[in-house]
Amino acid sequence: MKRAILSVVIMAGLSFVPAVFAGDAEDMAEMQRQLNKEVLEKPFSVADQAKIDAYVQDAAKKNLKPIEQPPANWNWQPGYTCASIYNYGWRAYSDCAYYHRYYGRYW
């Protein structure tokens, strides 16, 4: 008897779920369209290319050798470029840029 009552309550509650989420789906779609518009309006850029160039030139003047291998946490793959590791931060990007300018290739 308790199971029957519980199942009736659950089924009654589930019948209202589509009505609650129907408006949310439309709202979410509109928010996603707005977000897409904002992202596409803002161009992608490296943190500051002038700072990257200054870092590379300074390291070259000091005759510093770039790191030999990318750190394991960068998950470097064949075919990657510096843009592939941009999400790891400015230091990762600048180290990659310096290695590329020093050796003329990527890791």
Domain residue extents for the chain: 2-41, 49-103
What's the chain look like in SS3?
A: CHHHHHHHHHHHHHCCHHHHHHHHHHHHHHHHHHHHHHHHHCCCCCCCHHHHHHHHHHHHHCCCCCCCCCCHHHCCCCCCCHHHHHHHCHHHHHHHHHHHHHHCCCC
Q: Given this model, what pLDDT does residue 34 score? A: 86
Q: Average pLDDT, whole number, for the chain?
A: 77
Q: Given this model, what pLDDT does residue 76 score? A: 87
Q: Given this model, what pLDDT does residue 83 score? A: 85
Task: Give the pLDDT confidence of 31-79 residue by residue, as tens digits.
Answer: 888 887 776 676 555 657 788 888 889 998 998 889 888 888 888 888 8
Question: pTM for this structure?
Answer: 0.53
